[in-house]
């Protein structure tokens, strides 16, 4: 029998692990010798883009990560932590599971949810909400329908079973995601500030425990797989997709959260990407210690697994726990209570080595810090893509103003990207934990925190067409719009997490998009005072046809100090006055209107003035705190007409609206279609009781926010200017049936 130590490392083997010649030299320098087969595998996963961020690190470092409320900063731990006062903190993160979902949509999406939940409870916080951002090809395509159905079912399966409410998010359909869907899952947890757990190994002699599910061959090399472009052959990579068991995760979560209440815990780290390898070397690297584990003790589900496989497996629902010496019994008792494995597999050692044994034999010995933190870093070449030249050009004169705006609105309401997503979120348990105050369909999801007055608002957002046409402006808008969503619910934006989905970074044009988008996000984060607490980068999102649009998804989190001051997105009262806040310009480039009505994905997307945006936020938050707003809804995809229709669509009590003073809201000459469907930024729709009219106008003036009274909430029709007349029920029925109609079995 050949043992792994005897396997000769060949240049082909190195290449097939995705390791370059330069990287291999670096490995031999770190080790002072050639690596063996197991070590080669360990380096390949730790130095994959997914784990090391080798291609994106120099850019990611430029994100603002400082803020007055930040208890743990981005990059220090699995997820950033934000203080929300009253001895409470929240912890949140968004992460991609794009490639697995493309291959096996149900399990790919399900394990994406499982992974992000572990990132949250590994910090000692109880997950209290899930959101997601999903992007698929055109929904009229049968392959897309299969992916869409599978992804939604996978998310629903995992989230529902574990009992964390999934509060929607966003769903886009565009042919750029054909064959390469995006599945970005976000989780948020809450904890007491004195219960923060670090993913750190410290205290020489402290035992290292393996808890949770047994290790199998599933997900072998998943991190390396996620760092490759999808090709026709990718479907043969199916074993690299993990299989999830939400029941196991529920038990694991409860056991871990019970453990943090004891004094037996030193550190905790989930086994996500790169499994046992990553958790072992990262805990040791953070604690500046050595660590030693014995693979013979690792619970296994399959026989004959070699060290290489055990170290690289991405079996789900597993955690690594560093316990306090002498408290072993307490740890074991808690896991026994939940009928889980808790096996001591090693201990914290002096020095700096990660030593992996298989019984008596040492199968890997690598300096932990070098492996975890000193991976290669590349500054990639950038080049402005040639497509922009043509794509940004838009000759407005050649675009005819449609005759029938009502028909345009109906067409937009029937577009799956703009239509109601109830088909999706009704499959998610969005109410469990009895804290959900704003259901999906609102600008932001809102949950209360029991036994306090506080609420947490969350929005995920990214308009990738904007990012395709102008990555800098698109990145800016992704942050600003998600902040605006949170503000519209009455909550103050605190911080963001992001999931940066891009194509192959080796292509200078793609890297340029990436850099530009990040710069745009930074501009908004700085201006709006919302630092980045962490997130994830997903590169190589390309199908055989082309790269996806640059998609830097933002997860914005806001705090509502007094939940009673929340503001719904829907019109509430007959007779309320309707105001438009913000200026409307002739901005049609990159709009949903231009795409849906004219079939064009062209032009410069709308411009965002961050000062204006900030003033709008201040004004809305002030009015919300005074209780003067009956409803508030931001203007985004589809512009004013769509925002008005959506505001009428309270699922439990639809309302009508008459907009008869539209001309007052437009300063200067603006084409009529731009007034109705343009997507000028920094705008919101407010409804206000007549008695607050003067006060609201006065405050807008003081804040330097243009505010126009344009109509009132009344009747059962949507009447906008001279151009749109439709029955609310008819419009609502188009809006609600667009996706179910296409998904009918």
8-state DSSP, 263: S
* Residue placing its CB nearer to other proteins in the complex, 212 or 471: 212
CB 117, min distance to other proteins, A: 13
50 an active-site residue? Answer: yes
Q: Which residue among the candidates 17, 50, 157, 628 is catalytic per the annotation?
A: 50
Compute the distance between CA of residue 180 and CA of residue 155 in angstroms, rounded to an integer: 17
Question: Catalytic residue among 17, 97, 415, 442, which?
Answer: 97
CB 425, min distance to other proteins, A: 8
Which CB sits closer to other proteins, 132 or 591? 132
Helix (H) or strand (E) holding 687: strand 684-688
Contacting positions for other proteins (CB under 8 A): 153, 156-157, 160-163, 245-248, 250-251, 338-339, 425-434, 436-437, 439, 448, 450-451, 563, 652
Alpha carbon 507 to chain centroid distance?
Answer: 24
Shortest Cβ distance from residue 653 to other proteins (Å)?
11
Round to whole Å and give the CA distance between 221 and 366. Answer: 19
Q: Measured from the CB of residue 431, what is the shortest distance to other proteins in angstroms?
A: 5
For residues 499 and 95, what is the distance between their CA atoms, to the nearest angstrom?
6
**Shortest distance (Å) from residue 279 CB to other proteins:** 24
CA dist 413 and 397 (Å) reads 26
Task: Report the C-alpha gap between 457 and 556 in whole angstroms.
Answer: 8
Name every residue whose Cβ is closer than 8 Å to that of residue 652 and which is 6 or more positions away in sequence. none
Closest separation in Å from C-beta 218 to other proteins = 18
Q: Strand 126-136 and strand 290-294: pairing? A: unpaired
Query: How many CA atoms within 13 Å lie on the side-chain side of 432?
Result: 17
Instruction: Say if CB 417 and CB 172 are below 8 A apart.
Output: yes
Distance CA 60, CA 41 (A): 26
Residue 562 C-beta: closest distance to other proteins, Å? 12
Phi-psi bin for 339: left (phi > 0), alpha (psi -120 to 50), beta? left
DSSP letter at 124?
T
- Helix 105-121 and helix 142-162, axial crossing angle in degrees, nearest 10: 30
Which of residues 437 and 506 has its CB atom nearest to other proteins in the complex?
A: 437
* CA dihedral for 103, 465, 524, 685, sign (positive or negative): negative
C-alpha angle 333/335/341, rounded to 5°? 120
Closest CB to other proteins among 222 and 416?
A: 416
In the bound state with other proteins, the residue whose beta carbon lies nearer, of 2 and 434, is 434
In the complex with other proteins, the residue whose CB is nearer, 153 or 388, is 153
Minimum distance from residue 153 beta carbon to other proteins (Å): 7
In this complex, which beta carbon is closest to other proteins, that of residue 428 or of residue 540?
Answer: 428
Smallest CA-to-CA distance from 134 within 169, 100, 161 is with 169
Nearer to other proteins, 367 or 441 (CB): 441
User: Terminal CA-to-CA distance of the chain, rounded, Å?
Assistant: 53
Judged by DSSP in three states, 410 sits in helix
99 annotated active-site? no
> What amino acid positions are annotated as catalytic residues?
50, 97
């Amino acid at each position: 029998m050949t043992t792994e130590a005897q396997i000769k490392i060949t240049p082909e083997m190195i290449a097939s692990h995705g390791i370059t010649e330069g990287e291999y030299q670096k490995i031999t320098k770190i080790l002072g010798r050639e690596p063996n087969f197991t070590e080669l595998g360990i380096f390949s996963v730790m130095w994959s883009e997914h784990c090391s961020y080798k291609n994106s690190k120099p850019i990611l470092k430029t994100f603002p990560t400082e803020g007055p409320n930040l208890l743990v900063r981005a990059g220090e731990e699995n997820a950033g932590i934000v203080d929300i006062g009253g001895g409470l903190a929240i912890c949140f993160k968004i992460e991609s599971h794009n490639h697995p979902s493309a291959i096996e949509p149900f399990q790919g999406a399900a394990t994406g949810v499982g992974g992000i939940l572990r990132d949250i409870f590994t910090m000692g916080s109880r997950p209290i909400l899930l959101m997601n951002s999903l992007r698929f090809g055109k929904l009229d395509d049968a392959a897309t329908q299969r992916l869409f159905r599978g992804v939604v079912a996978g998310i629903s399966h995992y989230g529902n079973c574990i009992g964390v409410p999934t509060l929607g998010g966003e769903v886009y359909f565009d042919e750029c995601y054909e064959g390469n869907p995006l599945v970005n899952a976000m989780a948020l947890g809450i904890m007491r500030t004195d219960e923060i757990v670090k993913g750190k190994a410290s205290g020489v002699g402290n035992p290292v425990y393996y808890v949770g599910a047994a290790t199998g061959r599933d997900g072998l090399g998943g991190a390396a797989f996620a760092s490759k472009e999808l090709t026709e052959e990718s479907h043969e990579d199916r074993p690299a997709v993990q299989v999830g068991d939400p029941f196991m995760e529920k038990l694991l979560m409860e056991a871990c959260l019970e453990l943090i209440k004891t004094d037996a815990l030193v550190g905790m780290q989930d086994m996500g990407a790169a499994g046992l390898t990553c958790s072992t070397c990262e805990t040791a690297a953070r604690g500046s210690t050595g660590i030693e584990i014995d693979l013979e003790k690792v619970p296994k589900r399959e026989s004959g697994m070699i060290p290489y496989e055990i170290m690289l497996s991405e079996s789900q629902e597993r955690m690594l726990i560093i316990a306090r010496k002498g408290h072993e019994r307490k740890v074991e008792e808690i896991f026994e209570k939940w009928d889980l494995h808790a096996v001591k597999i090693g201990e914290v050692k002096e020095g700096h080595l990660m030593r992996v044994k298989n019984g008596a034999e040492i199968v890997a010995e690598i300096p932990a810090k070098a492996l975890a933190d000193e991976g290669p870093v590349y500054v990639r070449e950038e080049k402005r893509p040639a497509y922009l030249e043509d794509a940004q050009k838009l000759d407005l004169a050649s675009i005819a103003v449609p005759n029938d705006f009502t028909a345009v609105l109906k067409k937009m309401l029937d577009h799956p990207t703009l239509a109601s997503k109830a088909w999706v979120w009704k499959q998610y348990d969005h109410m469990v934990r009895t804290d959900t105050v704003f259901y999906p369909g609102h600008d932001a999801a809102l949950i209360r925190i029991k036994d306090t007055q506080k609420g947490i608002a969350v929005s995920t957002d990214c308009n990738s067409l904007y990012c395709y046409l102008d990555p800098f402006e698109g990145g800016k808008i992704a942050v600003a719009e998600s902040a605006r969503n949170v503000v519209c619910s009455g909550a103050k934006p605190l911080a963001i997490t992001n999931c940066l989905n891009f194509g192959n970074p080796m292509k200078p044009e793609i890297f340029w998009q990436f850099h530009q988008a990040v710069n745009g996000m930074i501009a908004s984060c700085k201006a709006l005072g919302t630092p980045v607490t962490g997130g994830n980068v997903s590169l190589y999102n390309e199908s055989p046809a082309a790269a996806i649009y640059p998609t830097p998804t933002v997860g914005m989190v806001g705090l509502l100090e007094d939940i009673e001051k929340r503001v719904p997105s829907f019109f509430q009262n007959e007779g309320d006055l309707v105001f438009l806040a913000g200026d409307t310009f002739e901005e049609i480039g990159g709009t949903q209107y231009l795409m849906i009505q004219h079939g064009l994905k062209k032009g410069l997307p709308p411009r965002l003035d961050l000062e204006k945006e900030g003033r709008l936020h201040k004004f809305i938050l002030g009015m919300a705190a005074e209780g003067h707003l009956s409803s508030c809804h931001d203007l985004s995809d589809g512009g004013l007409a769509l925002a008005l229709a959506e505001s009428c669509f309270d699922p439990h009590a639809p309302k009508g609206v008459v907009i008869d003073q539209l001309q007052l809201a437009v300063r200067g000459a603006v084409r009529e279609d731009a007034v109705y469907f343009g997507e000028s930024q920094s705008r919101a729709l407010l409804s206000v009781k007549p008695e607050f009219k003067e006060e609201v106008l006065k405050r807008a003036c003081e804040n330097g926010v243009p505010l126009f009274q344009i109509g009132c909430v009344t009747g059962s029709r949507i009447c906008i200017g001279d151009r749109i007349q439709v029955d609310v029920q008819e419009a609502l029925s188009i809006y609600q049936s667009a996706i179910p109609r296409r998904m009918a079995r």
